[in-house]
A = this chain, B = another copy of it.
């Protein structure tokens, strides 16, 4: 269970500021808009997508893509965002303020459906235990076709 579950923006922001302070890091406009955008849009962003969005939404900041990467990495290390991996194609990031969940990903249109299943989580723990393995995280993605794309193909 994440420390940041179900927090609203003001609390997330306070957490972020405290985290920065504790590590002698600075609160900047760039870091603020990254967190704000992840919160408000509630989407799965690639660093590239987020960069493009921020570039056009806050042109006065003239944000660089390196800063987007640096901020996402900082937030991920701090467990305030999580990422899902797409193999060689890269990663997508989302804010970690919702309960743990996994993803179904449509191969055709890229739609992401979130789901959560306690029984599977439980079984994973049992399997790990049987193998003397200590789970720190897991990755579960179901890949295939969403309803719309499945219809279009048939």
Task: Take A85-B87, A88-B91, A104-B128 as given contacts and tell me if A138 and B133 are in contact as well, using a CB distance cutoff of 8 Å.
Answer: no
How far apart sit A140 and B107, CA to CA, in the bound complex (Å)?
17
Give chain A's interface residues, CB within 8 Å of chain B. 83, 85-88, 90-91, 104, 106-107, 113, 115, 117, 119-120, 123-124, 127-128, 131-147, 150
Interchain Cβ contacts under 8 Å between A and B, 29 examples: A85-B85, A85-B87, A85-B88, A88-B90, A104-B131, A104-B133, A104-B135, A113-B131, A113-B133, A115-B131, A117-B127, A119-B119, A119-B123, A120-B123, A120-B124, A128-B142, A132-B147, A133-B142, A133-B144, A133-B145, A133-B146, A134-B150, A135-B143, A137-B143, A138-B140, A138-B142, A139-B140, A139-B143, A140-B141
- Are A142 and B146 in touch, CB under 8 angstroms? no
Contacting pair B142 A115 (CB below 8 A): no
Look across to chain B and name the residue whose beta carbon is closest to the beta carbon of A116: B127
A135 to B119 alpha-carbon distance, docked (Å): 19
Chain B residues, Cβ within 8 Å of A136 = 107, 143-145
Chain B positions within 8 Å of A142 at CB level = 124, 127-128, 133, 135, 138
